[in-house]
Chain A
Amino acid sequence: MSLLEVEGLAREFGGVNAISDLYFSVPAGTVFSIIGPNGAGKTTLLNLLSGVYAPSAGQIVFDGRPLSGRAPHEHAAAGIARTFQNLQVFFNMSALENVLVGRTLHDPCGLLAAMVRPPRLTRDERKAREEAATLMRFVGLTDWIDADADAMPYGALKRLEIARALAAQPRLLLLDEPAAGLNPVETQGIDTLISRLAKSGITVVLVEHNMRLVMGISDHILVLDYGKCLAEGTVEQVRNDPRVIEAYLGAAASA
Chain B
Amino acid sequence: MSGTNVASRMRGLAVLAGVAALLPLVLVNNYYYEVAILVGLNAIVCVGLNLLIGYAGQISLGHAGFFGLGAYGSAVLTARYGWPPLAAMAAATFAVAALAFVIGRPILRLRGHYLAMATLGLGIIISIVVATEDRITGGPDGMAVPPLSAFGLTLAGERSWYWVIAAVLVLSVWLALNLIESPRGRALRALHGSEIAAEVAGIDSAREKLRVFVVSAIYAAIAGSLMAHYAGFITPAKVTFFHSIELVTMVVFGGMASTFGAVVGAAVLTTLPQALTVLKEYEMAVFGAVMMLTMVFMPRGLVPTLSSALNGRRR
Report whether chain A binds chain B: yes
Q: Is B88 an interface residue (CB 8 A)?
A: no
A125 engages B202 (CB within 8 Å)? no
Closest to A81 in B: B200
Q: Is B182 an interface residue (CB 8 A)?
A: yes
Tell me how far the C-beta of A4 lies from the nearest C-beta in chain B, rounded to whole angstroms. 16
A89–B186 Cα gap in the complex (Å)?
13
Residue-wise, chain A 137-172 has the 8 Å CB interface mask toward B (1 for contact) of 000000001101000000000000000110010000
A residues near B186, Cβ cutoff 8 Å: 93, 97, 100-101, 104
Tell me how far the C-beta of A25 lies from the nearest C-beta in chain B, rounded to whole angstroms. 22
Q: Is A226 an interface residue (CB 8 A)?
A: no
Contact among A82, A95, A114 for B200, CB-based, below 8 A: A82
A residues near B266, Cβ cutoff 8 Å: none
A117–B200 Cα gap in the complex (Å)?
26
B200 engages A75 (CB within 8 Å)? yes
Residue-wise, chain B 140-183 has the 8 Å CB interface mask toward A (1 for contact) of 00000000000000000000000000000000000110110111
Residue pairs across A and B with CB atoms within 8 Å: the count is: 120
* Additional A-B contact list (11), CB under 8 Å, known A73-B199, A88-B196: A76-B200, A81-B200, A81-B201, A96-B3, A97-B186, A104-B187, A104-B190, A105-B202, A107-B183, A114-B182, A116-B175
Contact among B175, B202, B257 for A168, CB-based, below 8 A: B202
Contact among A81, A89, A92, A125 for B182, CB-based, below 8 A: A125
Q: Is B117 an interface residue (CB 8 A)?
A: no
A residues near B189, Cβ cutoff 8 Å: 90, 92-93, 97
B interface residue count range (under 10 / 10 to 19 / 20 to 34 / 35 or more): 20 to 34
A residues near B198, Cβ cutoff 8 Å: 90, 101
A111 engages B190 (CB within 8 Å)? no
A100 engages B183 (CB within 8 Å)? yes
A183–B189 Cα gap in the complex (Å)?
32
Partner-B contacts on A (CB < 8 A): 50-52, 71-73, 75-77, 81-82, 84, 88-97, 100-105, 107, 109-111, 113-117, 121, 125, 128-129, 145-146, 148, 164-165, 168
With contacts A73-B203, A90-B189, A93-B189 taken as known, whether A117 is within 8 angstroms of B182 at the C-beta atoms is: yes
Identify which of B178, B182, B184 gathers the most chain A CB atoms within 10 Å of its CB: B182
Interface residues of B in 248-283 (CB under 8 A from A): 257
A residues near B204, Cβ cutoff 8 Å: 71, 73
Tell me how far the C-beta of B159 lies from the nearest C-beta in chain A, rounded to whole angstroms. 29
B184 engages A111 (CB within 8 Å)? yes
Q: Is B121 an interface residue (CB 8 A)?
A: no
